[in-house]
Structure 1
């Protein structure tokens, strides 16, 4: 279910000139998705409690609370989105439409903690005819779902590695750590890709074929590409994947 966190970050405290960006964050459902991510983070911390020495576990909690503090994520992500997405109006219009609201509702349902727990061992296979499967394949190619899913997984797993490195300085050199990160990212993306179509079939199961086709058209459009590319960059910036907690700089303010 990692791919369901593609829209993670919310915008708060933006200047008046960025009101359209703020409305886009809200319309696209980012506040709820960030809450869902925080719930997943809490669950991950609890899983590590029984497997890590107490000192390492406490370092993990401290590091993750610092790295994923709401204000820090928001500021890093907002700065990236403002830089990457020059015109939020087209995406805003889509997510404020009836179809856009339906898309957001489907994504919010899929990332709820009870749904993640229910399908922790895998999603059921979804039956679909050739037309719907083709639409889903096009959607899978248009959305950066596997990339976003990999970033979320790396962010959650990276906190433990970061904490261990603090306990054993020099455990991983910068070049070695980056090489491992790139290798993990590639493996995660390949793993997600294997079941991506079935995941999207499940998430958007309540969309009719015509609605799904309209969603695909938006995602494939130049405006849709601009939005989703900016969202992926903002996700990476917000989660600061590959940046050690010790090296995190204060999140950029304003524009």
Structure 2
């Protein structure tokens, strides 16, 4: 019986182990970033505690917890990542020593303690012309301002989503979408205005040679394909603008 059970479990496990998209999801630091988002969500919920009536606050907590379950976010984001036709080049890059160093730097930057320490902005970085040029190329190649805007919108929209559920019709679909689009553009402008300095800080431990290799990957056909799929995966995982009801399994 024990042997039969092991064989059954093995049949269900092998496809997952052989799934390069799941490997890329892990290597890209997605589970850690999702956990950090959940930390930020918890902080956002606490900020609303004293400014909303108890019933609305509880609806906010319940709805946002339902919307942003770990399993749901992983499932939606992984489905978005599968838009990438060939995950192997990106997987090879992020499993390399340089790739792991990049992901570690990105994961560190979104930890609760780091976000609290630099809530008013990261310090101005001193860098030479070559390093600034490389960072400038990265800021053009990476969808950093788009990703930052989506995360900010996801955190900000939890209250609006709860109010809409309690008072249907409060915002018409077209009006709500227009507000989201305007807010998205505003956030992207804010993030983009200081993006180079932010990236200088996040990747401060990378040498110029490592930055050049990072730029080469980000600007390559494979790198562009990965970051396009990664942005789609992020948007799918956060599901900004979608009702909680539409995300129910």
TM-score (normalizing by structure 2):
0.91
User: What is aligned with 1:6?
Assistant: none
Conserved? CA contact 2:134–2:211, under 8 Å: yes
| Alpha-carbon displacement from aligned partner over 1:178-233 (angstroms, at most 9, x marks no partner) | 01010000000001001100000000000001100100110010100111110100
User: What is aligned with 2:42?
Assistant: 42
Distance between the aligned counterparts of 1:108 and 1:14, measured in 2?
Answer: 28
- In the alignment of these two chains, the number of paired residues is 237
Conserved? CA contact 2:22–2:78, under 8 Å: no
1:19, CA displacement in angstroms? 1.7
**SS state at 2:51 partner:** coil
1:17, CA displacement in angstroms? 8.1
Rg larger in structure: 2
Conserved? CA contact 1:14–1:22, under 8 Å: no
User: What is aligned with 1:149?
Assistant: 148
Structure 1 unaligned regions, length at least 5:
1-12, 251-255
Distance between the aligned counterparts of 1:80 and 1:107, measured in 2?
Answer: 20
User: What is aligned with 2:206?
Assistant: 207
Distance between the aligned counterparts of 1:156 and 1:216, measured in 2?
Answer: 30
Conserved? CA contact 2:150–2:235, under 8 Å: yes
Structure 2 unaligned regions, length at least 5:
1-12
Conserved? CA contact 1:60–1:160, under 8 Å: yes
User: What is aligned with 1:20?
Assistant: 20
1:122, CA displacement in angstroms? 1.1
Distance between the aligned counterparts of 2:14 and 2:131, measured in 1?
Answer: 40
> Which segments of structure 1 move beyond 3 Å, counting only runs of 4 or more?
13-18
Aligned ranges 1:227-242 → 2 under 5 Å: 227-242=226-241
Conserved? CA contact 2:153–2:240, under 8 Å: yes
User: What is aligned with 1:8?
Assistant: none
Conserved? CA contact 2:25–2:78, under 8 Å: no
**SS state at 2:200 partner:** helix
User: What is aligned with 1:220?
Assistant: 219
User: What is aligned with 2:10?
Assistant: none
Distance between the aligned counterparts of 2:159 and 2:194, measured in 1?
Answer: 26
Conserved? CA contact 1:81–1:230, under 8 Å: yes
Aligned ranges 1:1-255 → 2 under 5 Å: 15-16=15-16, 19-82=19-82, 84-250=83-249
1:63, CA displacement in angstroms? 0.8
Distance between the aligned counterparts of 1:25 and 1:209, measured in 2?
Answer: 27
TM-score (normalizing by structure 1):
0.89
User: What is aligned with 1:5?
Assistant: none
Cα 1:73–1:169 change in 2 (3 A) is same
Distance between the aligned counterparts of 2:14 and 2:183, measured in 1?
Answer: 34
Conserved? CA contact 1:142–1:220, under 8 Å: yes
| Alpha-carbon displacement from aligned partner over 1:69-91 (angstroms, at most 9, x marks no partner) | 11111111122221x11111000
Conserved? CA contact 1:151–1:241, under 8 Å: yes
Cα 1:73–1:14 change in 2 (3 A) is farther
